[in-house]
Amino acid sequence: MRKKNGLVEILVWIVIAVGVLWVLSPFYWAVITSFKKPADVFRLSSVPWVQFRPTLANWKTEFEQRGPEITRGILNSIIIAVCASLFAVALGSFAGYGLARHKYRRWKNRDLSFWFLSQRFLPPAATVIPFFLLMKSLRLLDTQLALILVNTTFVMPFAVLIMKDMFRELPVELEEAAWVDGCSRWQSFLRIALPLAAPALVATIIICFSFAWNEFLFALVLTYKNASPITVVIAGTEHTQGVQFWYVSTRLLLAIIPPTILALTVQKYIVRGLTMGAVKG
């Protein structure tokens, strides 16, 4: 029996090791490619100082020649992702609280929840042209506001469903006690429900932030220069002779720094939010 348990444990650790290598391999590729010469990128060379000699030429070129463009792209991504996630969570909290605390008759709660979820099933390619025409008529093309509105629309379903489950798990007796003390439903929501759901709020903001940060299709169509986020800047490394992978890797590493710092900063709140049933289906 002990031998069988030991064999199972070994297999589990092997599977974990393979999974970790699978997840980390793209980051390793990006790191080593950013220090390669163009000639080394197109041949088998994975071990620095053994199969190729690392160089800082790619990083110097990016900062000296394309520094303002990359900086503007990262700032645009930060502004768009932060505003979109905050707006989505603010609106999603109201909708989630309503679905958790009220029973609707004409449209059932389950149908409303499925309608919010269906927004994620909708192919973005089916709405990109209508959004383009709408933003053009509003004169919002190549503006941060256009991408903020679009990203808020598409990440808000996550906020609604996550916050709905979170509010449903909070004891309603706490709010009823506040009502007895003279609080209105609005006051009990702001003073009781929201503070108790703070960890889930932070986790939801991070989830919405990650989706808004990685959005590419609408950013490509709705912007062309001033409001282009870092995802469009990364895609701009294509050259007439092909994709410049050595520049793709440098921009990719620069692009993952802000969300990584944010995730590490609020890591404890993410763990608390996810373990309090915030994403339970």
Contact 156/88 with Cβ under 8 angstroms? Answer: yes
Three-state DSSP class for 146? helix
Q: What is the pLDDT of residues 182-227, one digit of tens each?
A: 888 888 888 888 888 888 888 889 889 989 999 999 999 999 888 9
Contact 45/55 with Cβ under 8 angstroms? Answer: no
Average pLDDT, the chain: 86
Q: Token pair 């710092």 is at which residue?
A: 261
Q: Is 259 exposed, middle or buried (0-12, 13-18, 19+ CB in 10 A)?
A: middle
What is the percent of the chain where pLDDT is above 90?
31
CA 148 – CA 66 distance, rounded (Å) = 25
Q: What is the pLDDT of residues 64-79, one digit of tens each?
A: 888 888 999 999 999 9
CA angle 157, 162, 163 (to 5 degrees): 100
Q: What is the DSSP string of 224-249?
A: SSTT--HHHHHHTTEETTEE-HHHHH
Residues in a beta bridge with 52: 48
Residue 168, token pair as written in the block: 């449903």
Q: In terms of Cα–Cα distance, which of 179, 184, 209, 225 is closest to 270?
A: 209
Q: Is the pLDDT of residue 146 over 80?
A: yes
Q: Is the pLDDT of residue 113 over 60?
A: yes
Q: Is the pLDDT of residue 123 over 90?
A: no
Domain ranges of the chain: 67-275
Q: What is the pLDDT of residues 230-257, one digit of tens each?
A: 999 988 776 666 778 888 899 889 888 8
CA angle 238, 244, 248 (to 5 degrees): 90
Q: How confident is the model at residue 279 (pLDDT cuts 50, 70, 90)?
A: very low
**DSSP state for residue 159 in the 8-state scheme:** H
**37-41, 149-153, 187-191, 240-244: lowest mean pLDDT where?**
240-244
- The matching CATH number, chosen from 1.10.150.20, 3.40.50.720, 1.10.3720.10, 3.40.50.800, for 67-275 is 1.10.3720.10
